[in-house]
Structure 1
Amino acid sequence: MPVQWNAKWISHVYDPREDLGVFLFRSKLKLSEIPETLYVKVSADNRYKLYVNGELVSFGPQRGDTLHWFYETIDLSPKLKTGDNEIVAVVWNFGWLAPMAQISVRTAFVFDVVGQEFPDLNTPGNWKVAKLEGWTFEMMHSGIEQFYTDIGPGEIIDGSKHPDALGLASESLGWRDPHVVYTAVERGAGYSTPWNLVPRSIPPMRYAMRPRPPLLRHGFVGDTITGQDGDRLSEGFVLQAGQSILLDFEELLCAYPRFQLSGQAGSTVTLTYAEGTWPAEDESPWTSKARRDRDVVRGRMVRGYQDKLILGEGVHTFETLWWRTFRYVHVHSDGPLTIHGLTAVETGYPIEAESSFECDRPEVDKIWEVALRTVERCAGETYFDCPYYEQLQYVGDTRIQALIGYYLGKDRDLQRNAIETLGWSRMSNGLTRSRYPDRQPQIIPPFSLWWVLMRQDQRLYDRIWQTDPEDDDPIDSEGLDVANAFNRLSSEAIDRTFWNFVDWVPGWEGGTPPGSARATVNMLTLYLAHLATEISLDSIDRADPRRVQALAHYILPQFEKTGGLVRHRNDPDWIASEHAEALYRCVQQRLGLPLDPWPYDQLEKAGAARCTYYFSYYKHLTMQPDDYISELGPWREMIEENLTTFAENPPPVRSDCHAWSSHPILGLFQVVAGVTSAGEGWKRAQIAPHPGSLRRFDAKIAHPDGLMRVQFEAGKLSIETPVESQLVWQGKSAVLQPGAHSIG
């Protein structure tokens, strides 16, 4: 049962209006012997980094909201020593400049020892606090004003005013007793404070030093340094006053930049972070449809958000509090500067890709590699759409990310966290927000329906759901409530109040199809969500056939074919679209019906709206292409342009790294290898390979019960399955028992 902690929340000042800034909290511990374990619980608002004797031991907390404020439990004993020990927490609050995904009450810190020993370590105890005056925040960027960016401020770090090593607290900082602001209690303790504490639900983020220094690139606008383009940055590299260098980390990273610098005291070093370089003459990236080779820097310039470092005396080590996204870092100094070291400490969710796909086409292997990197860069304490611009967990993006996660490995923590946190956002009208956590509610009603589909995916691929084995037709009542909420809201109310985004189709204003909430594509999504909640998720054949038939008789007559293309009968603004064709076939699939052939000619004749990178996942899944690989032309083009992650859209493009564009991983597993779940908890599978033009492929999937492997070569299949599977191959169907099978 949740209980009140021994510790209390503490802060620097009583008045929360002065919260913006960076604060140090320090406690000392004298030990005659090192305890076998010393578990503590720690959290902060906004965030913290915790050091023991100068070594980083934890950073967080996991991103949540005030009703679900996460804390970490850490064993400090490995970092303790006999004698004097110092525990320092660096706590910061971005204040009104905080990223959209950062929910906050006020600056605060809590530290609680598990058990009754060392009571002085429980805040407030013997803790002291000081404000770092040399660390401030400001929105700083060059040339990306056209793009929606909401990841928080840049940092201005004055090396003359803060200790070189944050984990070692200087006595000159003006330490004072902290203010107690609230009691600390876990959620459900019977009464609450502004922070309802809950234990961390995902593993710690990666924090790994990149082993190689970046490349030094030449020829960019403003380059005045001679040298060989592509040399590694050497230790002790010198810049004269007013000079700049451009560093290339060779691939897009999510990392804490770490610099060791010295130079003229008072000089300002400006760091600009970019995914790629921009043509110097192009004033508006939105208007440029030109493909850009991301390796090219000659004659180009860097645009991006910035940090500033002000040099003090001697050599200083700088590391930002929050991580940055970059392939390129532009470094400019207004005074003489020596770079003693510059590296990146990579971070992100610790994704372990236990699954793999290999084939006889090198370009497909490269697509896999870049898609996997995109997945990794778009996963942190939540999933997010893009790491550079938003870092927000949108439902539409997240559904694809979570599905990829089910196939890549056995870890389910981030998927569960996504479904749960998005569920926290449900509003009084029954819909979820489009993204969560966030400080500013945004509603995309179709995304609420995709959250319902995420719950279905979880039941198919995870084993967290507990259903009555005697119930042949369990209903997801919470998902059904959301689908019904969409249906209850009048079309006028939805259209007037909310954003009905579907896909970034040229000509669809704001990605919204004509007809808006009651457009054919949205009605199909609604019925797909209803089917996901009302038909047994254990399998179609175990569902009540009368219910399936009744649903089919209700849904299908609401649609007709116009020129061979699907249209809802009450859609007065209908236009033909690949989106509607894909979703109609998803509905057919859910009803256990054969899929209509993909209407290539009819779509061409109608000048239909085409799916962009995002929605092409659903198109590929349902068009059943003879050759899936031939559908990957846009991804091959991105490889040719030397993107190291996949972009948001075709040009003109904002984000060079966008989660939804990593879905070829799913296509290779679900379409080419043909592996999907056919039962709750993936306890049964379907295997329906479509090798197309591939002469050979080898798909290995980390199934919860062991390795699932589908190999194809010389027209023959070799299959290993840990569960009963339905094989569909060359027009025939057979049941495979667990084990190894050769077919052909």
Structure 2
Amino acid sequence: MPSRREFLAAAASLPLPAVPRFDAKAWRTRWIHPPAGESAGYGVYLFRKSFNLESPPASLMVRVSADSRYELRVNGVKLCWGPARGTLDWLHYETVDIAPHLRPGANVIAATVWNDGPYAALSQFSHETAFLLEAESSGFDQINAGPDWRCLRDAAYEAIPVPQRSQYGYFAIGPCEKFDAAKHPWGWEQPGFDDSAWLPVRMGYLAAGRGQRDAQTRWALVPRELPPMEETPVRLAKVRRAEGVKPPEDFPAKPAAWTVPANSKAILLLDHGHLATGFPVLSIDGGQGARVSLRYSEGLFQSEKPRRVKGNRNEVEGKTFWGYGDVVVADGRPRQWRPLYWRTWRYIELAVETGAAPLTINDVSAVYTGYPFSLKARFESTSPEHAQIFETGWRTARLCAHETYMDCPYYEQLQYAGDTRIQCLVTLFNSGDPRLVRAAIRLLERSRTPDGITLSRSPSTLPQFIPPFSLWWICMVHDYWWYVPDPDFVREMLPGVRSVLGFYQQFIGDDGLLASMPYWNYVDWVPAWRNGTPPSSEDRMSATIHMQLLLALQAAADLEAATGDGTRAAEYRVLALRLAVNIRSRFWKSGRRMFSEDLEGNRFSQHANVLAVLAGLVEDAAASKDLMERTSSAPPSELDPCSVYFRFYLDRAMAKAGLGDRYLERLGTWQFMLSEGLTTWAEIDRPETRSDCHAWGASPNIEFLRTVLGVDSAAPGFSKVSIRPHLGPFKRLAGAVPHPKGIISVEIERTATAYAIKHSAPPGVEIVL
């Protein structure tokens, strides 16, 4: 396995392909399925193709995909896994060169294909279990998926469903697994394995690219646009509790074998030291019939507290472990197991129950996995806390980024537009890699319904509508246009932008305000709001929703003017101006000198006033500064407060109002979470948070660079760079920000009357101080 540095270097060197909306590539190969009657429901299937070669070719590219998931091996070597998350009408295929792993004589291509059936994650689409492999060169059609492939259902696997709802929250992930080693055909992926008892595959329809005429297949194929996910071996940190056995002192930080006697039980609580996503790896020997369970948890729960209260995540004494998990049944032989799909944990509870034979645990380790980001940003101050906040934010962002962004890796693994806008900006400011950003924007655009809006999340087999998230999606497209030099992609998104705004326009009444709207108009998790929806008048939407629409209209006007229809841009500007006038005349309450959420002026929030500043609804700089000083300092009893999620917008408004120098003094939200022992940012900055890992809280990884260091785009495509620092109480700061052309490095020192700024930038990058 390559080192992490080698892997990231290879991933970063992959081109940024212009992935088309349609793929007219002609396929010569049909999908293959398990034998008749076995394609529906949960199942793990093994597909094999044996063949002989006189001498391997220098290169042999194959295209491969599956419904739902697969791992591809050649002569026992795993080459790739996928397909990258998508939908049935946007199903990715991977292209991989198998030649380096071929040999003269006997060879075998082997694929593990699984379908989680009724237990599947909400992000996983499926029609029926199927597999596809085709050599790009017709000279190697002998290896293509076809009637001479063999198939076996692997009876070793059983699903362990994760309930969608429990006292610990809402879940949308796929199942865990029970693996019975005695039922697995060990060695099946190697040449020479006897598969004569396996059944022939069932042939399906001819494969077809998306956009081909009269394709008789449910899967519309498009090439994968993302690099392979990273896989890096890692060690767990330590044992926190042990019952029934005393493991070696260095375990699990170092490999060390230990044995559980026959007819006994043992339980270990293993601490990774921080939250992680990856594949746990269990190595065992002996103990025929012994059961080993691995349960995963972000943190232990306080037994005497109301549900979901965890307290300090570093503390385990007197706490209750809860988590979903896997089960492995030993067959008495030396075996190594890892699950088919990755898991999330900080703590792993390892429980062993033996029968007539002792079981030896040779090792418990893990393989980290996630999108192969490389951190290129840097932020240096004299405060160790800043470094900890930056590191924690980057870890959070990484664990919430795989084949898609996701709100959280433990509970849902769904790509919500509201979360993803912030995650995309974290990506661009910290790594500069726009590939996952572009894929996210496209997947959300492809979720548009006949109503015109996007789904709240995509991919998702369960449609959910949060119309304000469609407005944030428009702002995502605007962010991409501002930071990535890719106008053709922005132009491709314009029909979706127009569609979303068309949905909203039908709800604007004669008074120029939005009438009550359908679906879930979620904004933020505010304790006083019902289901995250801001209070409003009976027949008109809240001020915050109006302001989101105003921001989206302003963004759409910019996009149309730069890449689309100038006439439409002018129309959007007129609509935005009218809406701004109506918002100010109806929601501004002069007695409070603030915007209220409802027309009557009964409810006020930070959100409405924050977005008012961002949308330019406040008449001048002095008024904006005054409003934000009062908004940011008001207690929750006076203004409904922003959660950690909406702090992204509050801090942007503070900077726009000329209060950026206060940013480093306003880190209490993240300081609280660090004091709770969190190693990633939680879903909400309150003790009863559900998820311990929500990247919508990673906005300091943007604002340390954009607000404090002051490095930002000053023109579309990052074609100009502005440096406008806000050091707050600090006299010196330094850092670096990735740019499409390279790295921008900055050193800033405060003098008695000004800033002394040293900077370096790639050739051709214009800097505006």
**What is the CA–CA distance in structure 2 between the aligned matches of 1:101 and 1:231, rounded to whole Å?**
33
Match for residue 397 of structure 2?
375
2:520 aligned to which of 487, 495, 499: 499
Kindly report which structure 2 residues correspond to 1:657-696, keeping only aligned pairs within 5 A, or say none. 657-696=693-732
The more displaced of 107-116 and 14-23 is 14-23
Structure 1 residue 668: Cα displacement: 0.7
Structure 1 residue 116: Cα displacement: 1.3
Cα distance change of structure 1 residues 475 and 32 upon mapping to structure 2, 3 Å threshold: closer
**What is the CA–CA distance in structure 2 between the aligned matches of 1:510 and 1:619, rounded to whole Å?**
21
**What is the CA–CA distance in structure 1 between the aligned matches of 2:617 and 2:561, rounded to whole Å?**
15
Cα distance change of structure 1 residues 554 and 293 upon mapping to structure 2, 3 Å threshold: closer
Cα distance change of structure 1 residues 92 and 549 upon mapping to structure 2, 3 Å threshold: closer
Structure 1 residue 600: Cα displacement: 3.9
Cα distance change of structure 1 residues 631 and 569 upon mapping to structure 2, 3 Å threshold: closer
Equivalent position SS for 2:547 = helix
Answering whether residue 341 of structure 2 is matched by residue 318 of structure 1, we say no
CA displacement, residues 43-76 of structure 1 (integer Å, 9 cap, x when unaligned): 0001000011111100000110011110000000
Structure 1 residue 644: Cα displacement: 1.4
Q: State the one-letter code of the partner of 1:278.
A: F
Q: State the one-letter code of the partner of 1:597.
A: D
Alpha carbons 1:578, 1:610 under 8 Å: kept: yes
Structure 1 residue 599: Cα displacement: 4.1
Match for residue 731 of structure 1?
none
Structure 1 residue 242: Cα displacement: 1.7
Match for residue 124 of structure 1?
146
Structure 1 residue 551: Cα displacement: 4.3
Equivalent position SS for 2:441 = helix
How many percent identity over aligned positions?
32
Q: State the one-letter code of the partner of 1:612.
A: S
Equivalent position SS for 1:250 = strand
1:397 aligned to which of 407, 416, 419: 419
Cα distance change of structure 1 residues 57 and 723 upon mapping to structure 2, 3 Å threshold: closer
**What is the CA–CA distance in structure 2 between the aligned matches of 1:285 and 1:614, rounded to whole Å?**
22
Answering whether residue 511 of structure 2 is matched by residue 482 of structure 1, we say no
Match for residue 223 of structure 2?
199
Answering whether residue 643 of structure 2 is matched by residue 608 of structure 1, we say no
Kindly report which structure 2 residues correspond to 1:424-443, keeping only aligned pairs within 5 A, or say none. 424-443=446-465
Match for residue 673 of structure 2?
638
Q: State the one-letter code of the partner of 2:317.
A: R
Equivalent position SS for 2:281 = strand
Structure 1 residue 314: Cα displacement: 1.2
Alpha carbons 2:547, 2:611 under 8 Å: kept: yes
Cα distance change of structure 1 residues 167 and 571 upon mapping to structure 2, 3 Å threshold: farther
Q: State the one-letter code of the partner of 2:344.
A: T
Equivalent position SS for 1:304 = coil
**What is the CA–CA distance in structure 1 between the aligned matches of 2:219 and 2:523, rounded to whole Å?**
35
**What is the CA–CA distance in structure 1 between the aligned matches of 2:670 and 2:258, rounded to whole Å?**
38
Q: State the one-letter code of the partner of 1:619.
A: L
Cα distance change of structure 1 residues 315 and 479 upon mapping to structure 2, 3 Å threshold: same
Match for residue 14 of structure 2?
none
Equivalent position SS for 2:256 = coil
Alpha carbons 1:119, 1:125 under 8 Å: kept: no
The more displaced of 707-716 and 3-12 is 707-716
Cα distance change of structure 1 residues 656 and 136 upon mapping to structure 2, 3 Å threshold: same
**What is the CA–CA distance in structure 1 between the aligned matches of 2:139 and 2:276, rounded to whole Å?**
42
Match for residue 242 of structure 1?
265
Cα distance change of structure 1 residues 475 and 321 upon mapping to structure 2, 3 Å threshold: closer
Any stretches of 5+ residues in structure 1 without a counterpart? Answer: 725-736
Alpha carbons 2:478, 2:559 under 8 Å: kept: no
Cα distance change of structure 1 residues 271 and 590 upon mapping to structure 2, 3 Å threshold: farther
Match for residue 556 of structure 1?
581
**What is the CA–CA distance in structure 2 between the aligned matches of 1:590 and 1:324, rounded to whole Å?**
47
Q: State the one-letter code of the partner of 1:622.
A: A
The more displaced of 140-149 and 636-645 is 140-149
TM-score (structure 2 length as normaliser): 0.87
Q: State the one-letter code of the partner of 2:45.
A: F
Cα distance change of structure 1 residues 665 and 589 upon mapping to structure 2, 3 Å threshold: farther
2:303 aligned to which of 263, 280, 290: 280
Q: State the one-letter code of the partner of 1:246.
A: L
Kindly report which structure 2 residues correspond to 1:31-430, keeping only aligned pairs within 5 A, or say none. 31-140=53-162, 145-164=167-186, 167-168=189-190, 170-171=193-194, 174-192=197-215, 193-210=217-234, 212-218=235-241, 225=246, 232=253, 234-240=255-261, 241-282=264-305, 284-286=306-308, 288=309, 292-335=311-354, 336-430=358-452
Equivalent position SS for 1:49 = strand
Any stretches of 5+ residues in structure 2 without a counterpart? Answer: 1-22
Q: State the one-letter code of the partner of 2:580.
A: I
**What is the CA–CA distance in structure 1 between the aligned matches of 2:382 and 2:617, rounded to whole Å?**
31
Cα distance change of structure 1 residues 684 and 574 upon mapping to structure 2, 3 Å threshold: farther
TM-score (structure 1 length as normaliser): 0.90
Alpha carbons 2:164, 2:171 under 8 Å: kept: no
**What is the CA–CA distance in structure 1 between the aligned matches of 2:459 and 2:673, rounded to whole Å?**
31
The more displaced of 10-19 and 239-248 is 10-19
Alpha carbons 2:65, 2:94 under 8 Å: kept: yes
